[in-house]
Amino acid sequence: MIIVAIIVGCLLGIILGVNAPVIPYSISGYVAISIIAALDSVFGGITSTLKGNFDLKVFVSGFFGNAILSILLTYLGEKLNVDIYLAAIVVFVGRMFTNLSIIRRFYIEKWSKKTKKN
């Protein structure tokens, strides 16, 4: 059920995203950082699902909150002439890798348990 929802959402997103009007280039930097933040939230959500402590409120608030916060930070960095978005990217991508490694370990353990049983 959830997988179907994910696939439908992704397909709709691809179709509408490809046909969407082009946004100005100066905004694309903010969009990029918000995408990184959102991806981080998604991986965090997957990790928590696997751990069994997934909370929809936390996930949704993290998804949009991180995105908006990263945009605000990038804007502030531009006003201060400091590349704050680099720090945001380092944090988000680092967390993404951590979450990915947790996911990887989880499935490896699952897989090794299966092979041991067999």
The nearer residue to another protein, 42 or 50, going by C-beta atoms, is: 42
Which one, 55 or 109, has the nearer CB to another protein?
A: 55
CA distance 86 to 98: 18
Site of tokens 């201060």 = 80
Name which of 14 and 72 has its Cβ closer to another protein.
14
- Round to whole Å and give the CA distance between 113 and 106: 11
Check residue 60 for interaction with another protein (CB under 8 A).
yes
Q: What is the DSSP string of 3-69?
A: HHHHHHHHHHHHHHHHHSPPPPHHHHHHHHHHHHHHHHHHHHHHHHHHHT---HHHHHHHHHHHHHH
Per rule CB under 8 A, count of chain residues that contact another protein: 30
Report the C-alpha gap between 100 and 57 in whole angstroms: 22
Answer yes or no whether residue 68 interacts with another protein by CB under 8 A: no
53 binds another protein (CB under 8 A): no
Q: Looking at 52, 56, 79, 118, which residue binds another protein (CB under 8 A)?
A: 56
Residue numbers of the site for another protein (CB under 8 A)?
1-2, 5-6, 8-10, 12-14, 16-18, 20, 22-23, 25-26, 28, 31-32, 34-35, 38-39, 42, 56, 59-60, 63
